[in-house]
């Protein structure tokens, strides 16, 4: 399958470099380029990309706002946020907005290509540096009670087995790892993940993981609820 990719970055040199690098992959087709988040809706409608590679810092509409608007629409393409910095609040906002990946611009070219492929296949992607920082942020900053309570109430909507799968997603486990840990087939895991997304109104596995973090389940042994 050919992955249709839209590149959005206000720096023409960056766009040119990304086009040259990603366009060399046999399974990736660059279908369009944009210089600002304001252009994204029209470009997506015109080119129907599978993945949007989105810069954060742009002059009129930044990449985070553009991602929020884009992912709020039905049938939206996946978004990989590409940036030179990785502030905690930017990572969290991008992921809560529905971005499926967050990759630093100094990531090796081959890894950016792999990130696009993985996101197109439905697998969320974070640079190792971003993952470490995000996890450190979560560990160092206890969630405010309202957010924790709200997250716990949302997870309470899940059936027991769905809740176990959600916890495993929050722990960063792959479908195969979840299947082995919970003694079920990979197709069954995928079905549970789909049901979780539908029940909770989420876009992807990253948002499931963030909700589990917000609920504080990973702070407890085996993800058990507080008495």
Is 105 found in the same domain as 48?
yes
Do 74 and 118 have their domain in common? yes
Are 37 and 63 spatial neighbours (Cβ–Cβ below 8 Å)? yes
pLDDT value at position 220? 46
Residues 98 and 153 placed together within one structural domain of the fold:
no
The residues of the chain scoring below 70 in pLDDT are 85-89, 126-146, 218-227
Q: Are residues 55 and 148 in the same domain?
A: no
Q: What are phi and psi of 107, to 5 degrees?
A: -65, 135
**What is the rounded distance in angstroms from the CA atom of residue 226 to the CA atom of residue 75?**
38
Residue 54 structural domain:
3-137
**pLDDT for position 92:** 73
Looking at residue 130, its pLDDT comes to: 57
130 and 179 inside one domain: no
Domain total in the chain: 2
Residue matched to tokens 């995000």: 134
Of the residues 86, 103, 137, which one is the last residue of a structural domain? 137
Residue in the block written with tokens 């997506």: 44
């Amino acid at each position: 399958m050919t992955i249709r990719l839209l590149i959005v970055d206000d720096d023409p040199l960056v766009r040119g470099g990304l086009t040259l690098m990603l366009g060399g992959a046999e399974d990736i087709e660059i279908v369009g380029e944009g210089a600002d988040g304001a252009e994204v809706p029209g470009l997506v409608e015109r080119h129907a990309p599978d993945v949007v590679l989105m810069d954060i810092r742009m002059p009129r509409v930044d990449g985070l706002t553009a991602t929020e608007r884009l992912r709020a629409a039905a049938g939206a393409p996946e978004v990989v946020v590409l940036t030179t910095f990785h502030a905690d609040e930017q990572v969290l906002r991008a992921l809560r907005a529905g971005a499926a990946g967050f990759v630093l611009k100094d990531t090796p070219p081959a890894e950016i290509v792999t990130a696009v492929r993985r996101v197109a296949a439905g697998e969320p992607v974070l640079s190792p540096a971003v993952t470490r920082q995000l996890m450190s942020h979560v560990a160092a900053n206890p969630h405010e009670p309202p957010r924790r309570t709200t997250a716990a109430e949302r997870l309470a909507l899940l059936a027991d087995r769905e809740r176990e799968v959600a916890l495993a997603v929050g722990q960063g486990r792959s479908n195969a790892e979840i299947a082995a840990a919970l003694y079920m087939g990979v197709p069954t895991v995928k079905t549970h993940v789909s049901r979780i997304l539908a029940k909770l109104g989420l876009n992807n596995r990253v948002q499931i993981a963030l909700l589990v973090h917000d609920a504080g389940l990973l702070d407890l042994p085996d993800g058990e609820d507080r008495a």
